[in-house]
Amino acid sequence: MATTPTSPKGDWRGNLSLASRRYGDLFRDRDAATLLLAAVGSAIGDWLNFVAVVIIASNLGGGELAVGGALAIRFVPRLIFQGPAGALVDRFPGRVVLASSQVLMGLIAGSFLFLERYREMWLLFALVFLLESVYTIARPAFAVQVLRIVPAGRRSSANAVLGTGLTGAQFVGGWLGGVLMSAWGDVPLFVINGLSFFVLAGVVLSVRTNVAPHVDEAEATSSPEISPHFTTPSGYAGLLRVPDIRSFLAQQLSILLLIQATVALFVARSIELNRVQSEAGTLISMVGLGLILGSALGGIGVYLGPTALVIVAVGELISAAALVGFGLVDTWPLALAALVGAGIGSQISDIAGMTYFQNHLPERVYGRFLSLYLIALSTGGLVGSLLGPLLNLRQSVGTSLLIIAVPAIVSSCWLWRIALIQTRARATEPRADSKSKRVSHRRMPESRR
């Protein structure tokens, strides 16, 4: 695989040129490009399913309460099964687990067609629960395959492409789902969703694995900051004892709490700004626009050293400030601009953080790390969805978001502190030791194959 040279720090034109080259190398790699594009296509199918589930839940009775139940139940399997699922993926990291999970999800997605004959709320909830339960395996299994296929120098680009694609899938799937639903009902949505899982399973079995070294040769010799977690224990408790992992997860939980609280208050904020309730859709679109822009900007970096965690911290501080600003400004254009800024900061932070840990954690524990990450997101999302509306009963949207933002700000500052400590510590490491670590780290995947 071609390697990517580094550019002098501060040379933004050189950095853009290298980023462009990394994107080119990524799409010239048939296996990586095919896997990423198939995942985006499958995500469009997921959003078709989402549209159908929301509309069916509403039509079955219960109104917003039924819709909320259908959405909330998606978090439950992640809180219950995500831990064992991550351990399973680390125990069996091959592509068979990912392909099998996709086939099983395809069968479950097809089973939604039973709703045509048995229009029952319990059946809808049960199918959503089963689909999300298998997803707890599929998500970390997919991440491990990306780790195996995409070299370290291109992982930020891969994460950016995937982030942009998934955001685009939300727009396309939402629009296409509405069109198909109005014309032919929910049957084509479930059929397409099921087929998309089978297609992704076929792609997974067709691509090569174990083709990417854990750290590219050029990056390993040009970045003195690389210092992987060689002593990271394999268990969940061991991962949580690593300071930067623990701080990162706490920050992600708190920022998702703020994000979900904000989303839950979109309608209330629209009313505060003298807009109609349907303008909440515009607010969601502005977040999506920010995520796309953030993906483009985040893909420029490589994120090999602990300074990546500084970017994570700063990005989420910007996102938190923007979300609070969204609740406090008194004009609609400023509110929209604040959401775009929040999306940009959050997506840059996400790309930097995930790429950093992809490059630093051994493959044998990455499934469990990602499961911890997903549990943190699910916990923050569930609590934020409830806490935002509860605070808004007595406070304005702005005051509510300001209160909820405090943990996000504190945890981001703490992560920034951890990153600076690690940066200073690694700057004092003997050069010879650093090279020795790089060689060991680079060869580690080879010894496991």
Short-list 3, 297, 31, CA closest to 146: 31
| 123-77-45 Cα angle (round to 5) | 65
Axis-axis angle for helices 63-72, 30-59 (nearest 10): 150
Say whether pLDDT at 266 is over 90. Answer: no
DSSP alpha helix (H) spans, 150-279: 155-184, 187-206, 217-222, 236-240, 243-264, 266-272
Band of pLDDT at residue 288, cut at 50, 70 and 90: confident
Least confident of 35-39, 58-62, 162-166: 58-62
CA nearest 329: which of 348, 342, 345? Answer: 342
* 41 C-beta neighbours (distance < 10 Å), count: 18
On the question of pLDDT at 249 being above 50, the answer is: yes
Model confidence at 81, pLDDT cuts 50, 70, 90, reads very high
Give residue 429's pLDDT. Answer: 63
**Orientation angle between helical segments 397-427 and 307-328, nearest 10 degrees:** 170
Beta carbons within 10 angstroms of residue 28's beta carbon:
10
For 390, half-sphere exposure in the C-beta direction (CA atoms, 13 angstrom radius) is 9
CA–CA gap between residue 68 and residue 385 (Å, rounded)? 10
**For the packed helices 187-206 and 30-59, what is the interaxial angle rounded to 10 degrees?**
160
Average pLDDT, the chain: 82
Residue whose entry in the numeric block shows the structure tokens 């607010």? 283
Q: Is the pLDDT of residue 26 over 50?
A: yes
How many CB atoms neighbour CB 312 within 10 A?
Answer: 29
Instruction: Compute φ and ψ for 89, nearest 5 degrees.
Output: -65, -40
Short-list 378, 362, 350, 377, CA closest to 93:
362
Between 448 and 187, the higher pLDDT residue: 187
Which stretch of 10-14, 368-372, 443-447 has the lowest confidence by average pLDDT? 443-447
Residue 394 backbone phi and psi in degrees, to 5? -120, -15
For residue 263, what pLDDT band results from cuts at 50, 70 and 90?
confident
Per-residue pLDDT at 75: 81
Centre a 10 Å sphere on the Cβ of residue 85 and count the other Cβ atoms it contains. 28
Residue positions counted in the chain: 449
* Cβ partners under 8 Å of residue 272, min gap 6: 396, 397
Q: What was the pLDDT predicted at 449?
A: 32
Query: With 50 as the cut, is the pLDDT of residue 60 above it?
Result: yes
Per-residue pLDDT tens over the stretch 163-197: 888 888 877 887 788 888 888 988 999 999 999 99
Portion of the chain with pLDDT greater than 90, in percent: 40
Distance of alpha carbon 119 from its chain centroid, rounded? 33
What integer is the mean pLDDT of 16-30? 82
Q: How far apart are CA 407 and CA 253, in angstroms?
A: 9
How much is the pLDDT for 438? 42
Collect all residues with Cβ–Cβ distance below 8 Å to 30 and sequence separation of at least 6.
none
State residue 155's pLDDT score: 87
Does the pLDDT value for residue 432 go beyond 70? Answer: no
Using 50, 70 and 90 to split pLDDT, how confident is the model at 381? confident
Which of 161, 153, 147, 146 shows the shortest CA–CA distance to 21?
153
Work out the pLDDT band at 114, boundaries 50, 70, 90: very high
pLDDT one-digit tens code per residue, 388-402: 888 988 999 999 999
- For residues 316-324, average pLDDT: 96
pLDDT (tens digit per residue) in 199-237? 999 999 998 765 555 444 344 433 434 444 545 556 888
| pLDDT (0 to 100) of residue 4 | 37
Q: How confident is the model at residue 257 (pLDDT cuts 50, 70, 90)?
A: very high
Mean pLDDT to the nearest integer, 337-365: 91
Query: pLDDT confidence of 322, banded at 50, 70, 90?
Result: very high
User: For residue 236, what pLDDT is reported?
Assistant: 87
CA 347-139-358 angle, to 5 degrees, is 60
Q: Is 237 exposed, middle or buried (0-12, 13-18, 19+ CB in 10 A)?
A: exposed
On the question of pLDDT at 94 being above 80, the answer is yes
Q: Which domains does the chain have, with CATH numbers?
A: 28-212 (1.20.1250.20), 217-449 (1.20.1250.20)
